[in-house]
């Protein structure tokens, strides 16, 4: 293998190590861990298989997939370089982006709440109040009409009420006699 190709492979594998470091930081930061350890092993295994596939595709693109010791050392050097030089700044940038995204989401939700939800709640309360007001007026009108229409029958209702009261007293007296017979 010629020296130029070896330098290309080394630089590509250092870049792969950096990419693995970036992906690992993103995976650790944004992947929601499950309580079940079996699921975690599956996702971790899938992550590392994808990383290995990416490294192999990059290596295949450069030198046809030939694997040498300096390729592994280049990947390790790239990952170590990421951990030592880039990770702190990358995490700071991610935290800044997270704050911006959270602020944008909060602003959008607040705007939607103020412009859509609050007027809908007010409209619903207005409709409820209007309907209750109309129903109460209709009920008062119907009660008034009912009282006016039933006014001529008041003597009959009073007579029936007196008879029912008299009958209830008789039944109570009879039951007291029945239960207190001993």
In this predicted structure, the answer to whether residue 180 has a pLDDT above a threshold of 80 is: no
How high is the pLDDT of residue 74? 94
Token pair for 91? 């995490």
In this predicted structure, the answer to whether residue 181 has a pLDDT above a threshold of 70 is: no
Which pTM does this prediction carry?
A: 0.62
pLDDT, one tens digit per residue, over 45-72 is 899 999 999 999 999 988 888 888 989 9
Where is pLDDT greater, at 182 or 98? 98
Q: Out of 16-20, 115-119, 148-152, pick the least confident.
A: 148-152
How high is the pLDDT of residue 1? 65
When pLDDT is cut at 50, 70 and 90, the band that residue 182 belongs to is low
Instruction: Please give the average per-residue pLDDT across 112-131, as a whole number.
Output: 95
Round the average pLDDT of the chain to a whole number and report it: 90
In this predicted structure, the answer to whether residue 171 has a pLDDT above a threshold of 80 is: yes
Q: Above pLDDT 70, what percent of the chain? A: 96
In this predicted structure, the answer to whether residue 151 has a pLDDT above a threshold of 60 is: yes
When pLDDT is cut at 50, 70 and 90, the band that residue 34 belongs to is low
Instruction: Please give the average per-residue pLDDT across 91-101, as a whole number.
Output: 96
């Amino acid at each position: 293998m010629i020296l130029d190709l070896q330098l290309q492979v080394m630089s590509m594998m250092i870049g792969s190590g950096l990419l693995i470091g970036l992906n690992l930081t993103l995976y650790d930061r944004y992947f929601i861990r499950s309580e079940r350890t079996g699921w975690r092993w599956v996702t971790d295994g899938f992550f590392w298989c994808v990383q290995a596939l990416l490294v192999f595709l990059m290596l295949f693109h450069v030198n046809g997939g030939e694997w040498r010791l300096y390729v592994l050392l280049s990947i390790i050097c790239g990952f170590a370089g990421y951990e030592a030089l880039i990770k702190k700044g990358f995490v700071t940038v991610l935290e800044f982006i997270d704050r911006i995204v959270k602020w944008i989401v909060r602003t959008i939700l607040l705007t939607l709440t103020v412009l859509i939800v609050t007027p809908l709640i007010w409209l619903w309360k207005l409709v409820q109040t209007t309907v209750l007001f109309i129903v109460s007026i209709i009920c008062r009108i119907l009660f008034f009409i009912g009282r006016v229409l039933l006014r001529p029958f008041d003597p009959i209702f009073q007579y029936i009420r007196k008879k029912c009261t008299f009958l209830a007293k008789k039944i109570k007296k009879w039951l007291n006699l029945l239960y207190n017979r001993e």
